[in-house]
């Protein structure tokens, strides 16, 4: 394992808000602040980190989140207009999702199918193959406040259950998609969350508090908190997270520029290094789990070797 990651400063030198790696591991998509003469959405080769193309997009908008669908043929993204879009790579076509309440601040594609979780005015699951919403958080009323904190959510690997954070005080609810009542409640959760994720083996669930006041981890088999010496409300400054493809590691980005990789379930710190200046907005593992890429305020990509 390399202690010194490969780094590359992006040419437009604006904040990297989001990044994701294609399912085949060949490409990296990056979403940034807008800048004159450059698109805020670009594709890069892996492992070489060479710019392949800048994707057509409204250049004055700030890119919030971009994620590949599992088939690698479609990219879901949302920018500062809060209107979620799908980019079809084969047809080179962008389409906006037709939602009754389109204000979206968070999206998380399903692990296997072309479904995507959307959170903003409402928390929903959109099925791209049917072009319709197939699930909505029961009892939720669309927020009219543009600055309201969304109830972020993630589908489990079976895609039969969804975990929703910040809808109930101190609790994360888990629903079956075909039932209106929660089937499980994870207590000791943040009242407001900016990030929630489930590992590919459906063993762990992790969440980050909205204002970075704590990082939380649960064992889904029994609903109990895991590794209290590492995770809890007292561990501040965490901003984003990703599980590796095997659920063996949890990667975390911090406001201070640190990237942390923790081995599960024993909690050993594999990486704990400050390589960025400013916050780490997003990070992603390669499909083989051998590398991690991080990006943030300093417009720098870091490629970490985990092999």
Q: Structure tokens of 253?
A: 């980005």
Q: Where residue 84 falls among pLDDT bands split at 50, 70, 90? A: very high
Please write the tens of the pLDDT for every residue from 47-67. Answer: 888 889 888 665 567 889 999
Whose CA is closest to 15, among 295, 306, 265, 221?
A: 295
* Per-residue pLDDT at 182 exceeds 90: yes
pLDDT at position 88: 92
Averaged pLDDT, 206-213: 97
8 Å CB contact between 292 and 306: yes
Contacts 24+ apart (CB under 8 A), 164-168: 164/123, 164/137, 164/196, 165/189, 165/190, 165/193, 165/196, 165/207, 166/190, 166/191, 166/192, 166/193, 166/210, 167/123, 167/137, 167/140
Burial class (CB in 10 A: 0-12, 13-18, 19+), 72: middle
pLDDT at position 10: 87
Please write the tens of the pLDDT for every residue from 239-298. Answer: 999 999 999 999 999 999 999 999 999 999 999 999 999 999 999 999 999 999 999 999
Return d(Cα 264, Cα 249) in angstroms, integer. 6
Could you give all domains of the chain from N- to C-terminal order, each with its CATH number? 6-305 (2.130.10.10)
Lowest-confidence pick of 3-7, 157-161, 171-175, 284-288: 3-7
């Amino acid at each position: 394992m390399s202690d010194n990651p490969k780094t590359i400063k992006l040419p437009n030198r604006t904040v990297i808000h989001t990044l994701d790696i294609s399912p085949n591991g060949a490409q990296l998509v990056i979403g940034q602040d807008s800048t004159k003469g450059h698109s805020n959405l670009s594709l890069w080769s892996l492992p070489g980190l060479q710019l392949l193309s800048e994707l057509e997009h409204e250049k004055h908008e700030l890119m919030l989140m971009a994620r590949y669908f599992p088939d690698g043929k479609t990219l879901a993204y949302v920018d500062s207009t809060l209107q979620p879009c799908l980019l079809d790579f084969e047809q080179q076509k962008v389409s906006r999702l037709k939602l009754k309440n389109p204000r979206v601040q968070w999206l998380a594609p399903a692990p296997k199918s072309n479904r995507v979780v959307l959170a903003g005015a409402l928390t929903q699951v959109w099925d791209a193959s049917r072009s319709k919403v197939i699930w909505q958080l029961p009892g939720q009323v669309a927020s009219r406040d543009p600055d309201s904190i969304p109830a972020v959510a993630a589908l489990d690997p079976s895609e039969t259950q969804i975990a929703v954070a910040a809808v109930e005080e101190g609790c994360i609810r888990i629903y079956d998609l075909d039932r209106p009542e929660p089937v499980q409640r994870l207590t000791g959760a943040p009242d407001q969350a900016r990030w929630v994720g489930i590992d590919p083996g459906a063993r762990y669930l992790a969440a980050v508090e909205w204002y970075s006041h704590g990082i939380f981890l649960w064992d889904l088999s029994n609903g109990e908190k895991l590794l209290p010496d590492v995770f809890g409300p007292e561990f501040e400054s965490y901003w984003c997270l990703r599980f590796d493809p095997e659920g063996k590691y949890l990667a975390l980005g911090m406001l201070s520029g640190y990237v942390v990789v923790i081995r599960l379930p024993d909690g050993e710190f594999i990486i704990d290094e400050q390589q960025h200046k400013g916050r780490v907005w997003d990070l992603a593992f390669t499909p083989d789990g051998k590398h991690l890429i991080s990006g943030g305020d300093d417009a720098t990509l870091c490629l970490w070797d985990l092999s």
